[in-house]
Chain A
Amino acid sequence: MYPEFGLIALIFAGFIALLQSSIPLVGIRYKRPELIASAGPLSALVFVAILISYYYLTMSFLQDDFSVVYVANNSNSLLPWYYKFSAVWGAHEGSMLLWVLVLVGWTLAVSIFSRHLQKDFRAVALASQGMLALGFILFLVFTSNPFERLLPFSAPEGSDLNPLLQDVGLIFHPPMLYMGYVGFSVAFSFALAALVCGKLDPIWAKWLRPWTNIAWAFLTAGIALGSWWAYYELGWGGWWFWDPVENASLMPWIVGTALVHSLAVAEKRNLFQSWTVLLAIVAFSLSLLGTFLVRSGVLTSVHSFASDPERGLYILIFLFIVIGGSLFLYGLRMGDLKPTTGFEPLSAESMLLVNNLLLTLFASVVLLGTLYPLLIESLGMQSVSVGPPYFNLFLVIIGAPLMLFMGLGQRMRWRRDDMSRVLKSIPLPLIVSLVLAIVFAAMLGSFKAGLVGALFLAIWVVSHLIEDLRAKYLSGGLSKTLKSLTWWGMCTAHIGIAVLAVGIGLSAALTESVDVRMEAGTKVELAGYEFEFDGVYQEPGPNYTAQVAEVFVWKDGFPEAQLYPEKRRYLAGGDVLTEAGIDAGIGRDLFVSMGESLEGGAWAVRIQVKPFIRWTWFGAIFMALGGVIGILDRRYRMPAITDSEGSQSTNDQSQAST
């Protein structure tokens, strides 16, 4: 198989992307419909070319072509085939190619589903997607060519994929994450199209909502997978480290969350347009910024790709053009925008405004914390590191009011709500949440502030949903609400937040951990469980040998679980990795990881009982699910913008109150 074909396909895709980003715009300028319509076929062509390129890189991995530098550095003939497949995105060059594949895939999807949109509008958006693709293809070809060969001296054997990445979670983590990051490019491009064509109406927002929701759902799932992987693979039992790379994925997520909410206001009430456009630009800009931070070597982290300042400079220039250009356009166009109808201080709009402000504040805090070490350093002072205490503090300071307002906001009416109605509906959920939080805390046997607070906030959010249903049942509006999949999506995602809060609060407060020396027969008791170490045996893996410990867990004299934590030594690089033994449960995880082997056949072992840790990922699953449910709502299946001029304000205000 010839990797050169892959490179040729990539370069070809670059040329077509250049056409895709220019011809439609020329068509608009000179009013040539056939040029405007070329955006669709061109984006399909780019997609096919990138797919071919990606296919050749994958084949180079599957066929162990170690004459390709990237394959030689990231694969090995002993690697199981599925890891060879996922090794394609195991390092910088290939993961960038995957990024481009996902980008042109989204573009193709947009071009298919946007046929009924106004032609100019659609053409501008597709041209913008083409420019993004072009930028990344140039980046690949000039600074990160994955097809580079080691000829004539081909490597006899590859130096193996980083063992940390040889894992199921890591097969799916990057593609999911990129689906999210790159999915926000749709919102970005349509924000630009709206600015160029001056079409900032509810129909625009309605069309964009499903795309934003699905991208957001992917990003949620991608981040959750990454955190789950860190939990069992780094062997330390932590699931979020506030590492710069984790923050780089969290910032677009936070702003994307704000965008999902502000789009709701833009659709239903024709408000917040300016703000929504800005969020759409910023959400994708932060995705790009994350790429810059991770791949330029400006910040160092365990996740960092082999970094290179030249790449950094390229991405920075690209960022400057894309983000700077779009924000400039924003400034030009938004200065003339006339404010539309206002809203009352007590309304769904005001609650969503609070949501947006708090989320934006949180994103800024994370950005500041991530960049602070750089800032201090460039001011000539000695560098510092900003640790988890800073981020955790703000997570609580901002997260708690966010959830308080979320409880209230879920049931607030559009336009204007009645103060006495709102006040009347507070006491019951408040009392229920307080009482239940205290009862549950007593059952768990701990009254730590974080634990009680998390329980209170979670129940507060859910009890308001129930109270809302009760009120609607009494007023006869229940069946209408239950038919709305938008409402179900919102509920599911908000319950996800509540579940996540329980996971964070309870696992932080109740985790018990002990490090012990264990040999065959040693028994240790922790949090009511008895852990019995039954010795260690050797087990060969495909490209490693493992020392597997057998640990029996007993509770009240009954067998509870058998755990098999491993220590793996990978043959190619000689790296040693810990594979934790985990017994997962809804109420608790039992987590055993092996340290060093000590004299006399004994091992240093870390045993942890982590109550409710799983709820953090359940919460994320609920959130992602909520995002997906929301887009299944029937009204998104109707044609949104027809190709008639002056569809500007034919918006249906009657529907806006559903």
Chain B
Amino acid sequence: MTPEASKKFLVFAPLTAFVLLSAFFYSALQLREIRGGDELTSALIDRPFPSFELAGLDNDVHDQSELSMGQVTLVNVWGSWCPSCRYEHPFLTELVEAGVPLVGLNYKDTPTAALDWLDSFGDIYQYHIQDQDGRLGLDLGVYGAPETFIVDGDGVIRYKRVGVVDQRVWDDLMKPVYLQYGGQIDD
């Protein structure tokens, strides 16, 4: 190519890059829609919680069988590094106070930082599964913390929330599912 021709080509490079980027955004947007609105619903809905065997922050070893003991449970993916987790924490506290069982999946975090965080803001969880390298997160299709799963009494995932859980999300989207599978709330 002559310098002249290569220049003609070069000035269209930004446009080319932008068109590729737009195509990519379009596919990302489609992905959101297929998954149902702004909910990044998981391909794991109505499938059993993936099997795992991981240490907890209490140093006990936990596995998926604890999630199929007949009780509907929320599994909350969190990390001390995640500002949004801090944001939803007060509302999760209210849920726990209303008798909703909550299990923590401490995601890509260090135990020290996680325990510090829990000391400051309150450990409202029944126990925590430590997923330091994000392996279980991969199996769960975790998009980023915070995420909250509703797991029914047989250990089957019934709902997945990507992002913060607040009063509106709970009332509109999660509470109906939670009650449908027999979850209990004290008033």
User: Using a CB–CB distance below 8 Å, which chain A residues touch chain B?
Assistant: 159, 164, 230, 234-236, 238, 241, 243, 274, 278, 281-282, 285, 292, 296-298, 300-302, 304, 307-309, 312-313, 316, 319-320, 323-324, 327-328, 330-331, 334-335, 371, 373-375, 377-378, 382-385, 387-388, 515, 573-577, 593, 595-596, 604-606
Contact = CB atoms under 8 A, between A and B. Distances in A.
Contacts of A575: 90-91
B108 A301 contact: no
A384 B141 CA distance: 9
Interface stretch (B28-36, B64-72, B148-156, B177-185): B28-36
A378 B8 contact: no
B32 A309 contact: yes
A402 B39 CA distance: 41
A309 B33 contact: yes
Contacts of B37: 308-309
Contacts of B24: 371, 374-375, 378
B83 A234 contact: yes
Contacts of B29: 296, 298, 309, 312-313, 316
Contacts of B166: 573
B122 interface: yes
Given A230-B83, A574-B94, 10 more contacts: A159-B168, A274-B11, A296-B29, A301-B84, A302-B84, A316-B25, A334-B11, A515-B119, A574-B90, A606-B120
A335 B119 CA distance: 62
Contacts of A328: 15
A236 B162 contact: no
B32 A278 contact: no
Contacts of B12: 331, 335
A378 B26 CA distance: 10
B114 to A, nearest CB: 12
A595 B7 CA distance: 60
A327 B120 contact: no
A606 B121 CA distance: 10
B63 interface: no
B102 to A, nearest CB: 15
Q: Which 6 A-B pairs have the closest CB atoms?
A: A595-B120, A596-B122, A576-B90, A327-B15, A331-B12, A297-B38
Given A292-B25, A309-B38, A387-B81, A302 B87 contact: yes
B176 interface: no
B99 interface: no
A604 B32 contact: no
Nearest to A281: B14
Interface in B117-131: 119-122
Given A324-B19, A377-B31, A335 B8 contact: yes
Contact of A377 (B18, B83, B134, B143): B143
B171 to A, nearest CB: 11
16 contacts: A298-B29, A300-B144, A309-B32, A309-B33, A327-B18, A335-B7, A375-B24, A377-B31, A378-B24, A378-B31, A385-B144, A515-B119, A574-B167, A575-B90, A595-B122, A596-B121
B109 to A, nearest CB: 11
B57 to A, nearest CB: 15
Contact of B14 (A243, A327, A382): A327
Contact of A300 (B22, B31, B162, B168): B162
A649 B58 CA distance: 75
Q: What secondary structure prevails in chain B residues at the interface with A? A: helix
Nearest to A244: B144
A371 B24 CA distance: 10
B119 A331 contact: no
A296 B33 CA distance: 11
B86 A234 contact: yes
B32 A383 contact: no
Contacts of B15: 324, 327-328, 330-331
B60 to A, nearest CB: 23
Nearest to B167: A573
A604 B120 contact: yes
A318 to B, nearest CB: 11
Given A307-B38, A312-B32, A387-B81, A300 B120 contact: no
Interface of B: 7-8, 11-12, 14-15, 18-19, 22, 24-29, 31-33, 37-38, 40, 81, 83-84, 86-87, 90-91, 93-94, 108, 116, 119-122, 134, 138, 141-145, 162-164, 166-168
A285 B19 CA distance: 13
A515 B120 contact: yes
B25 A236 contact: no
Contacts of B144: 300, 373, 383, 385
B119 A383 contact: no
Contacts of A335: 7-8, 11-12
A234 B86 CA distance: 8
B84 A382 contact: no
Contact of B28 (A281, A374, A385, A606): A374
Contacts of A285: 18
A388 B113 CA distance: 16
Nearest to A329: B15
A388 B81 CA distance: 9
A302 B164 contact: yes
A596 B120 CA distance: 6
A386 B90 CA distance: 26
Contacts of A304: 163
A480 to B, nearest CB: 39
A319 B119 contact: no
Nearest to A383: B143
Nearest to A278: B14
A319 B23 CA distance: 12
A580 to B, nearest CB: 12
A373 B142 CA distance: 11
A363 B170 CA distance: 38
B178 to A, nearest CB: 19
B120 A378 contact: no
Contacts of B83: 230, 234, 236, 238, 241, 243, 302
Contacts of A243: 83
Nearest to A164: B87
A236 B22 contact: no
Contacts of A234: 83, 86-87
A481 to B, nearest CB: 37
B27 A378 contact: yes
A243 B144 CA distance: 11
Contacts of B162: 300
Contacts of A593: 120
A313 B28 CA distance: 11
Contacts of A323: 18
Given A377-B31, A378-B27, A574-B94, A324 B22 contact: yes
A629 B41 CA distance: 51
B59 to A, nearest CB: 20
A230 to B, nearest CB: 8
Nearest to A570: B90
Contacts of B90: 574-577
A576 B27 CA distance: 38
Nearest to A374: B28
A235 B93 CA distance: 17
Contacts of A515: 116, 119-120
Given A234-B86, A328-B15, A378-B28, A308 B141 contact: no
A301 B108 CA distance: 17
A243 B122 CA distance: 24
Centre residue among B7, B15, B28 by max chain A CB count within 10 A = B28
